[in-house]
Structure 1
Amino acid sequence: MNITKEQIDELNAVLKVAITKEDYQDKVDKILKDYRKNANIPGFRKGQVPMGLIKKQYGKAVLVDEVNKLLQDNLNNYLVEEKLDVLGNPLPKQQDNFNWDSEELAFEFELGLAPEFEVSLKTKKAIPHYKIVADKKMIDDQVTRIRKQYGKLVAKKEITAGDEVTGTFVNEAAEIEHKTTLDLSKVKSKKALSALKGSKPGDTVTLKTKGLLTEDYLLASTLGIDREQAEDLNIEVEFNIEEVNERQPAELNQELFDKLFGPGNVTSEKEMRERIKEDSEGQFQQQSDQKLLNDVTEQLIESTQFDLPREFLKKWMQTTGEKPLSPEEASDEFERSEKGLRYQLIEGKLIKEHGLDIQFDELKEFAKGFIRSQMAQYGQTDPKEEDLENIAGRVMGNREEVKRLSEQLMSQKLLSLYKEKANLKVKEVNYDQFVKEVYG
């Protein structure tokens, strides 16, 4: 077998493969002999079928199969040995009137070559790195929510502002009949609040659904309907009042601190506020890091310029999916996936240049850390190393879990690289400002 490469341009090449009978004939003959030993053909004893008949019936199929195996193995070896960085897989060129009986078989394969390019993390435009702080207002609101959540309910005879009212919403035409507890602090409509205030258990109040609550998404759960039905719902519902309760805030004392943070871990309101600030900012860090990953990715794609073998990739996409695509469909698919493909190449180069490859032992330790944090959520704060090893071993035997954990670990490695090397500008904001800037 002989393989030669013809360079078309920087991004495209053709591999020419010449195969002679000596490359495959021995294997073909051996397979056909095995077929003959086991063939059951009427009129012949087992093992006595003429070889000519075996060749006529099976020869071409065996030949094609063996040649294809030869091609696949040798092409893969050639790409590795020649250190060719290809995109997709080699595509066989169409050959009309191909003669499988020739003494020498000639094949051609199109290659799409990965482009040469440089990646600079020092982009011209500085990328914002958000530091989200828990400000006084946020901490105050959190303390208020905690006190309310752990407070006690006191029954009342009449509704006033801020009460919690238990009752049943009813609208027969819309098939609504749902018992719920309505927190008046979540009621937005002034007309609804006016109608509710002063009402007593046993009364029925008619309310309009449109603009009833402070957040539209709350309407579905309040009425016991799905989100699609609740969207833009504008009807009247009857609210049959059954109970009225006032939630008296819990005192900021040691009993509450122990419930929230464990016995003796927090001993004052000041320490509680510090802990709330620390925990909140820890959660914000995850959102800030994800935003940074997304922004650096976008900036690298925009600032790292290189060409792709577009026509080759479109052809390749026609044949690699679950079903063949038309040229038009493949072109559309390429346009949709081009950005992702570009980032895969950029990421691959960063991983290679900065030595970010993931090793098995490293991934296993990462898995153990993940398992340890999950166990801590269920009260197992000091698991045995043997237990961690056993669970991690099972996780590492699951291909999907390994893929998921590898992606998470690589994201952490890239994030650390970006924080160290990229052109970042720290921007301190509170959470409301972050949401407004990022999500509009």
Structure 2
Amino acid sequence: MDITLDKNEDQLNAILTVHLTEADYSAAVEGKLKEYSKKAQIKGFRPGKVPVTLVRKMYGKGILADEINSLLGKAVDGYIKENNIKILGEPLPLETQVDFDTQKDFDFKFELGLLPDFELPADQSITVDRQQVTVDEKTLEETHDQITRQFGESTNPDESETGDYLYGKLKKVGEEGEGRVVLLPTNKVKNGADKFIGVKPGDEITFDLKDAFAGDASDIANFSGLSKEEAASAEGDYVLAVEKINRTTTPEVNQELFDKVFGKDVVTSKEDFDEKVRTTIQENYDREAEGLMNRQIVDQMVNNTTITVPKEFFKKWLVRANEGKLTAEQVDEHYDDYERELKWSMIRNKVVEEQGLKVSNDEIVDRTMQKILGQFNMEMTDELRESMRSFADNYLRQENGKNYVNEYEAILAEKVIENLRGKVVVNDKPVSAEDFRSQAAS
């Protein structure tokens, strides 16, 4: 057997050629033929007494093809590993004409996409923003409104009053179609509120959208489904076809409400409840801000790392690896996204290798137990830990270990981001909750 690797001038593509002679495969083929002759059941011959020559005539080509394919797979994989060749995806076999009746020697070619060496950006050369969100009174008011709607008693009266929500379809006057489904809050209407009071299902309300909400793009976007930019530029009259009126009675602020919102006896007074609401909102925004910053780190690392990808090979491999799911046209359409994902994967793997990042089995099990307990809003105790571990182990073994791999990858990804955070400049940037929501949605 002889294996050669010919790299293109760009050093990103290569052809791997495997030359096989009869000596490379004959012994394995003969062994298989003898096995078949012992097991074959052919009319006129006793089991185990079928002549090898007959088996060769009937099954020889198939056995030869199978053994050569097996030999090729091992040879190609072994060559790539032994020579530490970093490839993209898998080798793509090139079409080869063979004649198993007459040929004794064979040449098989494989196309390789080679992954280039690259350097990560210098430490502290990349800057990202960490949003420090301030919880304002408007955000608190909206949260209390959500609590009221979630835990208050809901009814659908025949006629609207102040504070009701009007469910229906909204569209600009003269616009084709039925419009978009909305839930309009009457208590947010600042001008011409009388139009929305005393309304019944089946009524239509025509109003100047921008004027009704005093140009507050945030309020308009929140209920209309428009983006903040679209809401800010909304002009002229709109019509709301009312289908239903939603009214929610404000729940009593008592221990029953506290328990419904945060769990039994977590808070026991109005002051503690208000503080817990504020703290929870802040924690949620802080968590979202961390996620936004992490996405910035990924984007900046990809944008500032020079990696040349074997583009045409990558496209072919994507189609081949996703046969029946992706077409060449679809790959072309979304190629930039696929390339960015590949580059980030290469950067992530380089960080793991250079920094020696690892994930232990205990980390995976502990994370799984915490997730399970979090679903039931329970805290980990020594007593619970023992009983939950077997439950977690069972979950991680499910789907042929796929759950285990998913948890492993998630923890490793977090470690990569944490490592990179120590290598970038982080600027704290104060921002209002409203502005932050706009940024996160864009």
Considering the TM-score relative to the shorter chain, is it more than 0.5? yes
| Structure 2 letter corresponding to 1:32 | L
Measure the CA separation in 1 of the matches of 2:154 and 2:343.
58
| Secondary structure at 2:23 match in 1 | helix
Instruction: Give the structure 2 partner of residue 19 of structure 1.
Output: 20
For 1:31-63, what per-residue CA distance to the aligned partner results, in whole angstroms no more than 9, with x for missing partners? 222322343445555555443332122111101
Distance change in 2, residues 1:233/1:70 (3 Å) = farther
Measure the CA separation in 2 of the matches of 1:50 and 1:345.
55
Spell out the pairing of 1:309-328 with structure 2 (5 A cutoff). Answer: 309-323=310-324
Instruction: Give the structure 2 partner of residue 429 of structure 1.
Output: 431
2:201–2:242 Cα contact (<8 Å) kept: no
Measure the CA separation in 1 of the matches of 2:153 and 2:63.
81
2:148–2:249 Cα contact (<8 Å) kept: no
| Secondary structure at 1:17 match in 2 | strand
Q: CA deviation at 1:345?
A: 0.9
Instruction: Give the structure 1 partner of residue 421 of structure 2.
Output: 419
1:121–1:418 Cα contact (<8 Å) kept: no
Measure the CA separation in 2 of the matches of 1:149 and 1:17.
68
| Secondary structure at 2:362 match in 1 | helix
Aligned length: 407
Instruction: Give the structure 2 partner of residue 281 of structure 1.
Output: 282
Instruction: Give the structure 2 partner of residue 392 of structure 1.
Output: 392
Instruction: Give the structure 1 partner of residue 95 of structure 2.
Output: 94
2:158–2:201 Cα contact (<8 Å) kept: no
Measure the CA separation in 1 of the matches of 2:153 and 2:28.
84
Instruction: Give the structure 2 partner of residue 228 of structure 1.
Output: none
Measure the CA separation in 1 of the matches of 2:106 and 2:150.
79
Measure the CA separation in 1 of the matches of 2:190 and 2:47.
88
Measure the CA separation in 2 of the matches of 1:358 and 1:389.
18
* Residue 408 (1) aligns with residue 410 (2): yes
2:135–2:278 Cα contact (<8 Å) kept: yes
Instruction: Give the structure 1 partner of residue 8 of structure 2.
Output: 8
Instruction: Give the structure 1 partner of residue 36 of structure 2.
Output: 35
| Secondary structure at 2:89 match in 1 | strand
Distance change in 2, residues 1:237/1:308 (3 Å) = closer
Distance change in 2, residues 1:148/1:337 (3 Å) = closer
Structure 1 unmatched runs, 5+? 176-180, 221-231
Spell out the pairing of 1:85-234 with structure 2 (5 A cutoff). Answer: 85-96=86-97, 101-120=102-121, 122=123, 124=125, 126-143=127-144, 146=147, 161-162=162-163, 184-185=186-187, 190=192, 193-194=194-195, 196-197=197-198, 206-208=203-205
Measure the CA separation in 1 of the matches of 2:358 and 2:299.
22
Instruction: Give the structure 1 partner of residue 298 of structure 2.
Output: 297
1:121–1:423 Cα contact (<8 Å) kept: no
2:93–2:110 Cα contact (<8 Å) kept: yes
| Secondary structure at 2:359 match in 1 | coil
For 1:216-267, what per-residue CA distance to the aligned partner results, in whole angstroms no more than 9, with x for missing partners? 88699xxxxxxxxxxx99575577x9xx98946745x667656655666545
1:153–1:247 Cα contact (<8 Å) kept: yes
Measure the CA separation in 2 of the matches of 1:434 and 1:208.
33
Measure the CA separation in 1 of the matches of 2:362 and 2:420.
24
Instruction: Give the structure 1 partner of residue 216 of structure 2.
Output: none
1:375–1:381 Cα contact (<8 Å) kept: no
| Structure 2 letter corresponding to 1:411 | A
Distance change in 2, residues 1:411/1:121 (3 Å) = farther
Q: CA deviation at 1:311?
A: 3.0
| Secondary structure at 1:366 match in 2 | helix
Distance change in 2, residues 1:325/1:137 (3 Å) = closer
Measure the CA separation in 2 of the matches of 1:326 and 1:291.
32
2:396–2:402 Cα contact (<8 Å) kept: no
2:202–2:241 Cα contact (<8 Å) kept: no
Measure the CA separation in 1 of the matches of 2:45 and 2:152.
92
Instruction: Give the structure 2 partner of residue 364 of structure 1.
Output: 365
Deviates more, 1:389-398 or 1:411-420: 411-420
Q: CA deviation at 1:401?
A: 2.1
Q: CA deviation at 1:118?
A: 0.8
Measure the CA separation in 2 of the matches of 1:132 and 1:217.
19
* Residue 375 (1) aligns with residue 372 (2): no
Measure the CA separation in 2 of the matches of 1:206 and 1:128.
48
Distance change in 2, residues 1:43/1:420 (3 Å) = same
Measure the CA separation in 2 of the matches of 1:314 and 1:263.
56
Measure the CA separation in 2 of the matches of 1:168 and 1:8.
63
Q: CA deviation at 1:100?
A: 6.4
| Structure 2 letter corresponding to 1:395 | Y
Measure the CA separation in 1 of the matches of 2:258 and 2:402.
41
Measure the CA separation in 1 of the matches of 2:192 and 2:375.
45
| Structure 2 letter corresponding to 1:389 | R
| Secondary structure at 2:88 match in 1 | strand
For 1:98-138, what per-residue CA distance to the aligned partner results, in whole angstroms no more than 9, with x for missing partners? 56644433333232221100112646452111122323443
| Secondary structure at 1:3 match in 2 | strand
Measure the CA separation in 2 of the matches of 1:102 and 1:246.
83
Distance change in 2, residues 1:168/1:326 (3 Å) = closer
Q: How many percent identity over aligned positions?
A: 28
Q: Which has the larger radius of gyration?
A: 1
Structure 2 unmatched runs, 5+? 170-176, 214-218, 226-236
Q: CA deviation at 1:428?
A: 1.9
Measure the CA separation in 1 of the matches of 2:265 and 2:332.
64
TM-score, normalised via structure 2 length = 0.75
| Secondary structure at 1:356 match in 2 | coil
Distance change in 2, residues 1:368/1:209 (3 Å) = farther
| Secondary structure at 1:86 match in 2 | coil
How large is the Cα RMSD of the aligned pairs?
Answer: 4.4
Spell out the pairing of 1:70-81 with structure 2 (5 A cutoff). Answer: 70-81=71-82
| Secondary structure at 2:428 match in 1 | strand
